[in-house]
Structure 1
Amino acid sequence: MMRMTVLASGSKGNSTVIASSRTRVLVDAGLSCRELLKRMAVAGEDPARLDAILVTHEHQDHIAGLAVLARRLKIPVFFTEPTHRAWVRMLTPRSTMTYAKWLDHVQREKEARATAIAASTSTAGLATQLAAQSEAIASVSAEAAALNRSDDPNATLELPIDPDEEELCGPEPDSAAAQKAEQKADPTHLPAVEYFHSGTQFSIGDIEITPFTIPHDAADPCGFVFEAEGIRMALATDLGYMPPNVKAALKRIDVLLLESNHDLEMLRDGPYPWSVKQRVLSRVGHLSNHATAEFLQKDYDGGAAWIVLGHLSESNNAPELARLSAEQALGNQPTLLGNRILLAGQAVPLDPITL
């Protein structure tokens, strides 16, 4: 027996439980600890039975509740080493800023500098303003490099460290005050960290896990194939295109969670800033409905009993468009019509899929 339970999927948070009869793994923790516990309860998953948390990459919509949940449940977290390093850097306490606010901040600075330079009446004054402008540009560039990317312009880009989050998640029955203070002082504290390498199979309990590299703008992003008791499940979201290694990894899969992020026309006409649109459309961005349909029509082997379309944009996609696109792709190959299509959403867990 294997079971996949998608707790949340989208730019505001991602998390999925993969379970066998003996082992339970949480893939990503992109919601608050409190919300993750709530959704597991709704879906019938017991948090106390989780054996580990597995991280695809360090973007906030995949790790927002990671540290607090791992500490709360006292379970290990599995990363690639570059992803762990990036996560540690990102958890340095900083002020919260959204991508949209940052763009507004940059525009305000440009306007202020232009006004100051125009008002300058001397060569010395102009030189001073130009020096200040160069310094400000360097500061903005450094700030931009530190931002945690998201395809949602209103998503928080730098992870705020909330000292009250663990209290919201619930008290730890046996935690000492000194240990709790130490953990708050170090937001990167985890009960245990385990490293894996993309392309190298490893096991958690009786689940064999094969990570594969995906093209996304993160330190070392991965998708996964999970196998136990003769069942194979795969998770592939947050990728800009379908390279050969991903197509090969998604063969002989029984349950496939696959990204179908945006409708191309809705994205191009939608509310995102042009810079965010460019990122989403890039080869390290997100799969469109069209790209996913193209994979299903040309490269998919048809083996899955269930295809779950995930990471749908709330601003630039519609569930009916994603479903129609996939159904049309499969409909062009009559032998694949038996595949059942589900859509994972942002607001509520998907009913568990058990084989």
Structure 2
Amino acid sequence: MTVLASGSKGNSTVIASSRTRVLVDAGLSCRELLRRMAVAGEDPARLDAILVTHEHQDHIAGLAVLARRLKIPVFFTEPTHRAWVRMLTPRTTMTYAKWLDHVQREKEARATAIAASTPTCIQTAGLAAQLAAQSEAIASVSAEAAALNRSDDSNITLELPVDPDEEELCSPEPAEQKAEQKADPTHLPAVEYFHAGTRFSIGDIDITPFTIPHDAADPCGFVFEAEGIRMALATDLGYMPPNVKAALKRIDVLLLESNHDLEMLRDGPYPWSVKQRVLSRVGHLSNDATAEFLEKDYDGGASWIVLGHLSESNNAPELARLSAEQALGNQPTLLGNRIVLAGQSVPLDPITL
């Protein structure tokens, strides 16, 4: 496990066996991800796939450019992929009256096209199905648009690929292919779907995704298993439900969220609405919640515990570490666990078993 970045400004981790390498999330720009991989001794050309936990910007900022640059598939759940596509698809602002007129013209045009090319018995059912699908899509976009571009910190500047030269600097593709990709920012070399609770494999790494409580379309944590070693990643969750506790059994390396200190968050600079979100059951784990899990539900199996997604505004590394160490210290049999902290600005040294 090599944590390239962990926090509100961007998240990305390499999970590797001797034969397979998977990048979990791509929450920094393509150039920054490549730079950090070089610093950590990771060869981007050896990556086999990108795996996405959820669609918030601090987890997918460099996703499309990096996937195109490396020509590797991206694994999503289908709802996460749809949410990501909607987030990147350009939208036109118009009045409600214009929108109704636009929808009506589209319906009439489709009806005319279908009538000209389809037998009458098929025409009615096909048109009805198309119109129903369009209505559902419009309703879905309206309901979810406000929640798509989330990060954990409303005040931070994300490491986003907003530079118009980002694609040129990070991609060796011909000019005409770049033009096509800019016209469709959601273009990916390949997309693969997985389902929470259903095990699948990338190369020789077996992956079990599990549902986590977070305010995204279909967020997941993961357990990775290869060569008799099990690693797990569980961040961006508002609390520890039974399914997550069950998933984090018999783990050798555990990356676990320890996002905020409760007092620092309550007294800190965030607007109250953001504080409520972070504290909610679809927000983020506090140091106290992480410590409670380690003390009461953790089975002690991990050689390494990596505390991740620490808030730069509402936490301090020494507080997160102390909280976890005290929780483990209450159980002498767990004192062999080594605790390290993943940071935002530099990669963590690779953890190899």
After TM superposition, is the score higher than 0.5? yes
> Normalised by the shorter chain, which TM-score bucket?
0.7 to 0.9
Partners of 2:275 and 2:110 in 1: CA distance? 27
Deviations 1:284-320 (A, max 9, x none): 0000000000000000000000000000000000000
Structure 1 pair 229/168, CA: closer, same or farther in 2 (3 Å)? same
Cα distance change of structure 1 residues 332 and 38 upon mapping to structure 2, 3 Å threshold: same
Q: Decide whether aligned partners of structure 1 residues 160 and 113 sit closer, same or farther in structure 2, where only a CA change above 3 A counts.
A: farther
CA distance in 1, matches of 2:97, 2:341: 28
Change (3 A) 1:122 1:255: closer
Instruction: Give 1:151 deviation, angstroms.
Output: 1.9
What SS is found at the alignment partner of 2:224?
A: strand
Instruction: Say if 2:61 and 2:161, in contact at 8 Å, map to a contact too.
Output: no
Name the CA shift for 1:135/1:120 in 2 (closer, same or farther; >3 Å).
farther
Alpha-carbon distance in structure 1 between the residues aligned to 2:316 and 2:54: 25
CA displacement 1:204-259 (0-9 Å, x = unmatched): 00000000000000000000000000000000000000000000000000000000
Count residues with an aligned counterpart.
349
Equivalent-residue separation in structure 2 for 1:275 and 1:115 (angstroms): 48
Worse-matched range after superposition: 262-271 or 125-134 = 125-134
Structure 1 Cα separation of the partners of residues 100 and 351 of structure 2: 41
What is the distance in 2 between the residues matched to 1:135 and 1:198?
Answer: 24
* Alpha-carbon distance change, 110 to 155 in structure 1, aligned in 2, over 3 angstroms: farther
Instruction: Evaluate the alpha carbon distance shift between residue 107 and residue 77 of structure 1 in structure 2; reply closer, same or farther with a 3 A threshold.
Output: closer
Displacement of 1:146 in angstroms is 5.2
User: Helix, strand or coil: the match of 1:136?
Assistant: helix
Distance 2:98 2:61 in 1: 20
TM-score by length of 1: 0.83
Q: Give the deviation of 1:163 after TM superposition.
A: 3.8
Over 3 Å counting, the alpha-carbon distance change for 1:217 and 1:122 in structure 2 is: same
Of the structure 1 ranges 38-47 and 147-156, higher mean CA displacement relative to structure 2 is found in 147-156
Aligned partner of 1:263 among 261, 282, 298? 261
Q: Distance in 2 between matches of 1:272 and 1:203?
A: 40
Q: Structure 1 320/89 Cα, relative in aligned 2: closer, same or farther at 3 Å?
A: same
Give the 3 Å change call, closer, same or farther, for CA 116–179 of structure 1 in structure 2. closer
| Contact residue 98 and residue 156 of structure 1 kept, 8 A | no
Is the partner of 1:354 in helix, strand or coil? coil
Compared with structure 1, are the counterparts of its residues 143 and 54 closer, same or farther at alpha carbon in structure 2 (3 Å cutoff)?
Answer: closer
Once the two structures are TM-superposed, the CA of residue 144 in structure 1 deviates from its matched residue by: 7.2
Percent sequence identity over aligned pairs = 95
Residues 85-118 of structure 1 show CA distances to partners (whole Å, capped at 9, x for unaligned) of 0000001247999999999999999999999999
Q: 1:172 deviation in Å?
A: 3.7
> How far 1:171 moved relative to its partner?
2.9
Q: Is contact 1:255–1:306 with CA below 8 Å preserved after alignment?
A: yes
Gaps of 5+ in 2: none
CA displacement at 1:65 relative to structure 2 = 0.1
CA contact (8 A) 1:116 1:129 kept: no
User: Could you say if the C-alpha distance between residues 110 and 13 of structure 1 is closer, same or farther in structure 2, counting changes exceeding 3 Å?
Assistant: farther
Shift of 1:167: 1.7
> What do the CA deviations read for 1:133-186 (whole angstroms, capped 9, x no partner)?
99999999989725512221124699886542212325348xxx2222111100
**CA separation of 1:227 and 1:96: change in aligned 2, threshold 3 A:** farther
